[in-house]
Structures are given as C-alpha cells and as structure tokens.
C-alpha cells in the first residue's frame, strides 16, 4: 500500500488543499492520503491560528465526500511541539503493513526543508511529492542544501511548463517527485481576510465548512 501524508495547519482547509491532494493521488498512484493538521507548528506561529480542535473538525468536514482521504489527530494530541520527522516515525511504527510512504508538500514549504528538524533523516524515511504553488519557483530548488545536485535545465523546463513531472531518485532509495499542477490561487490567509471582511468564500469552501466557521465565529478578528 502506498500512503500519502499531507500535513499543514489547515487554517482553514480549502479547495486548493483538495486540488493538490487529488492531483498527487492520481499522478503518483496513492492508495490513500492522510491529512495531518498541526497542533503546535514549529514553523508557523500566528495569532490568527484557530484552535486545534476546530481545525481538525473542519478537515473532517472537508473530506466527507472523499472516501480515500482520511484525517489523523496525531499532532493535534501530541505533547509539546510536533515535528514532521517524529510524526512520520510514529506512523510507520503504527502501520507496518504500509510498504511506501510519500509526504505531499507545496513547493513554497519545500524550499525551507533544510531548516526542518532532521531533514536528511526525513528524506531517508519517505518519498516527497512536491507540488507547484503560485508563490514559488522550481528553479529555486538547488537552494535546499540537504538535496543532491539537480539539473537546473530540468527545473527550468518544469517551471516553464515544458514538462509537468520530474522524478529524482535519491541515494537512500527514496524519491523526489516534482509536479507542475494547474494553478489554484486560493490561500488560507486570503480566505481568513475575506471572512473577516464579510466577503463571499463559497467558491473556496464546501457549504458545511463555511457554516461551521460562521457557527463558531472563527476568523472574525
């Protein structure tokens, strides 16, 4: 079984998260994707971060119509700061029947991978599926210092749209897969701003999620 892991604050989860997950599942033949909302994220501190139990509930709502997507509360209930490497090791211990793991990540976040705890160990433990984001550029990938050399020519072709996929085998037996996806411009910060200003967000959120946000007065200030 090939499992994809998709972590994030999901503050809130929105259509672009589902867009990325769906394309990653199709293109990389993932059997399931597990969404992992963060509890105490080490890289993203903000006063606008909704309480963890609300973010977890919103992910459950957003995935109701996606039978191969599920949610893990492993980081929500973790004690102290949750790091991806620790989460991955725990999940691998809990699911020893899974033969292949891939971590799904946006290119903007991947460009900071070398600052993560035990980044080299992470690259040994699982594959990475790196998906394009409007705010990031594939030609910046060589700045991720924990990676082996990658052809600048291939990265330019990926950024320009001449190719939509680039696979890089790693010495550890794992693999990087870079995917150029159709653009999706939504961001959680712009959605929070729209909610705070009373503007329509129905094109980015399923109705059940929009209702939940209004009911619990989330992102109002």
When divided into structural domains, the chain yields a total of: 1
Residue 217 lies in a domain: no
Please, are residues 150 and 168 in contact by the beta-carbon 8 Å criterion? yes
Residue 169 lies in a domain: yes
Distance CA 191, CA 13 (A): 10
pLDDT profile of the chain (221 residues), mean per 10:
96 96 97 92 65 96 96 91 92 93 97 96 97 95 95 97 96 96 90 94 93 95 80
Residue 218 lies in a domain: no
Residue 209 lies in a domain: no
Residue 193 lies in a domain: no
The predicted model scores a pTM of 0.93
Residue 105 lies in a domain: yes
Residue 194 lies in a domain: no
Please, are residues 131 and 181 in contact by the beta-carbon 8 Å criterion? yes
For the chain, the farthest-separated pair of C-alpha atoms sits apart, in whole angstroms, at 51
Residue 128 lies in a domain: yes
Domain holding 65: CATH number? 3.40.50.620
């Amino acid at each position: 079984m090939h499992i994809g892991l998709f972590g994030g604050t999901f503050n809130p989860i929105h259509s672009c998260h589902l867009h990325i997950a769906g394309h990653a599942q199709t293109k990389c033949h993932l059997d399931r994707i597990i969404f992992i909302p963060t509890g105490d994220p080490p890289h993203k501190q903000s006063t606008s971060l909704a309480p963890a139990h609300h973010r977890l509930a919103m992910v459950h709502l957003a995935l109701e119509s996606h039978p191969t997507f599920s949610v893990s509360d492993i980081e929500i209930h973790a004690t102290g700061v949750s790091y991806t490497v620790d989460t991955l090791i725990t999940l691998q211990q809990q699911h020893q029947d899974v033969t292949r793991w891939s971590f799904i990540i946006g290119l903007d976040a991947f460009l900071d991978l070398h600052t993560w705890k035990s980044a080299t160990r992470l690259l040994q433990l699982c594959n990475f599926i790196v998906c394009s984001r409007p705010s990031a550029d594939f030609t910046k990938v060589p700045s991720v210092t924990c990676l082996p050399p990658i052809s600048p020519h291939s990265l330019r072709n990926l950024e320009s749209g001449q190719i939509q996929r680039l696979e890089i085998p790693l010495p550890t037996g794992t693999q990087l897969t870079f995917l150029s996806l159709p653009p999706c411009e939504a961001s959680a910060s712009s959605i929070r701003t729209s909610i705070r200003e009373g503007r329509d967000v129905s094109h980015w959120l399923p109705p059940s999620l929009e209702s939940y946000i209004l009911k619990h007065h989330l992102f109002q200030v």
